[in-house]
Chains A and B, each alone.
Chain A
Amino acid sequence: MIQDFLQYDFIRNAAFVGLMIGFLAPMLGVFIVVRRQALIADALSHITLAGIAASLLLSKQVPTFKMLNPVYLGMAFSVAGSILIERLRKEYKHYQELAIPIILSVGIGLSVVFISLANGFNTDLFNYLFGSIIAVGTSDVWMVLLILILVVIAVVLFYKELFLLSFDEDQAQVSGIRSRFIHFMFMVMVALVIAASMRIVGILLVSSLITLPVAASIRIARGFKQTIIIAIIFGETSVITGLVSAYYFDLAPGGTIVLLAALILVLVIIWKKFRYSFGTNSKVGEEA
């Protein structure tokens, strides 16, 4: 059955990319969620859409742009958006959450304008909104692989700093950690991973792959490392099961993946409740 599934090149590409983002999105997601910045993923995905729309528009006007994978411009927009969010958060010290709706609406505004300039919606754009396995090409696989390698190296090297900075910024500063650099690097990684996830789950669903596995993992994990590992397991499970069932039942892969992630979350919540009411090893002060 799996052999059957993997016989087509485009599905193999989608499976590779899926495995990689099923790993990356929840891993970064843990750091994002514990900082209570879950919505940042939404803001960045919408600004990525603006980049993709801009690229599609340019490819209509300038023939050489046809050669360029639109995800590259999407990525550039996403990184620029992450820098802007940081700047806005400094500008509005007491309303830091404002940065997210500002960037989100600018992203949508730009996208809509670019789309209308390009004379409307086409299937290509539809694929970017909701994800598609057919759209994943070999160049996407290499691009995501490169991002995977860079992000994993950065997270391993700066694990201590990222962890401390997420937990307690004051303490991080007292420990002499260069918090601004680490923070900036982290935002760039998030921007890259969001742009990379775009092909499969689509812009409108990217943030769910970042937050849902983490939301489930955080309920049951002990400690930070375990939270990351379990979140990745949940992420991979929903991506693999989602892609396979999308193929066999002819469903939209992005939506299927997200619904599976949501299903895992619901099961975890129910299981936790069940264990909490009947279990012997209920923990001290858990609900306090």
Chain B
Amino acid sequence: MNSSIVSIKNVSFNYQERRVLENINLDVPEGSFLALLGPNGSGKSTLIKMILGLLPLQKGMISLFGQNVKKFKNWPYIGYVSQKANSFNSGFPATVFEVVSMGLFGKVGIFNFLKKHHKKRVIEAIETVGLTEYTNQNIGELSGGQQQRAFIARALVSDPQLLILDEPTVGVDASSVESFYGLLKQLNQDKGITFILVTHDIGPVTNLVTHVACLNKQLHFHGDTYEYEVLDNHEWSSFYGHPVHMMDHQH
């Protein structure tokens, strides 16, 4: 079975006069790990917000799990860790437990309260990301890497089939980044969760992504990792608009 979790067809987007996305076509197969690459301002976050229904569809078509995004209701299927997650108000008085339980609010629904089995799910999600001993600590007391894990737990708790991460490791120290991606790999391979990872640096993730898409207003390349590695420096330079140096990041 290799159906598309996300399917984007001929999507364009303008912010007022400025064209941010131009005729994007992209398919994310089930169980894949897609890295969405691009320089700053390339429209990565815009595309993500459109997938999440946070920005209106101006032109083209997006379907999630085979359903038009405009009519899509199963938001608990999708976990999202925003770029903002690492610039949140770190003085916010909420424990890791409270932050993670927020991930269930959409599922629990209005006028309802968290029940025992919900709380069990929260504790399990915290365990999955290895933060059990911090369950009752305030989120602001954790390190950047730990906070990011807490946000992953919040995205995981509703049992999503797709996880979208927007630059999740900005501001996280290098040693935590490695174990963080280790966690993502495990979630992708053991739980079969499909991933879309927005990043401007593919280095640390080369050994876990299965598909790569390069965005700079237009989608320049979309395929599996093998084809991506064959791209030479020249093609990269034309994509970024300036010379780039390829580095080998295999650990």
List A residues at the B interface (Cβ < 8 Å).
30, 34, 36, 157-158, 160-161, 163-164, 166-168, 170-171, 173-177, 217-218, 221-227, 283-286
A238 to chain B, nearest CB (A): 20
A215 to chain B, nearest CB (A): 11
B150 to chain A, nearest CB (A): 12
Q: Is the CB of B143 within 8 A of A227?
A: no
Alpha-carbon distance between A284 and B96 when the two chains are bound, in angstroms: 14
A155 to chain B, nearest CB (A): 13
Instruction: Given A36-B89, A168-B102, A177-B106, verify A222-B136 contact (CB < 8 Å).
Output: yes
Alpha-carbon distance between A160 and B103 when the two chains are bound, in angstroms: 10
B134-169 at interface with A (beta carbon < 8 Å):
136-138, 140-143, 154
Alpha-carbon distance between A166 and B89 when the two chains are bound, in angstroms: 10
List B residues at the A interface (Cβ < 8 Å).
52-54, 73, 75, 78, 80, 82, 84-85, 88-89, 91-95, 97-99, 102-103, 105-106, 108, 110-111, 113-114, 136-138, 140-143, 154
Beyond A30-B93, A166-B92, A177-B105, list 13 extra A-B contacts (CB 8 Å). A34-B92, A160-B105, A163-B98, A163-B102, A171-B154, A173-B54, A174-B80, A218-B91, A222-B136, A223-B95, A223-B138, A283-B141, A284-B143
Instruction: Given A168-B88, A176-B75, A223-B98, verify A161-B106 contact (CB < 8 Å).
Output: no
A-B contact pairs, 9 of them (CB 8 A): A164-B102, A167-B102, A168-B85, A171-B154, A174-B78, A217-B93, A224-B92, A225-B98, A284-B141
Q: Given A170, A217, A227, which contacts B84 in the complex, CB threshold below 8 Å?
A: A170
Instruction: Given A36-B89, A161-B105, A163-B102, verify A174-B52 contact (CB < 8 Å).
Output: yes
Alpha-carbon distance between A176 and B78 when the two chains are bound, in angstroms: 12
Alpha-carbon distance between A171 and B103 when the two chains are bound, in angstroms: 8
Q: Is the CB of B97 within 8 A of A223?
A: yes
Alpha-carbon distance between A275 and B138 when the two chains are bound, in angstroms: 17
* A222 surroundings in chain B (CB, below 8 A): 93, 95, 136-138
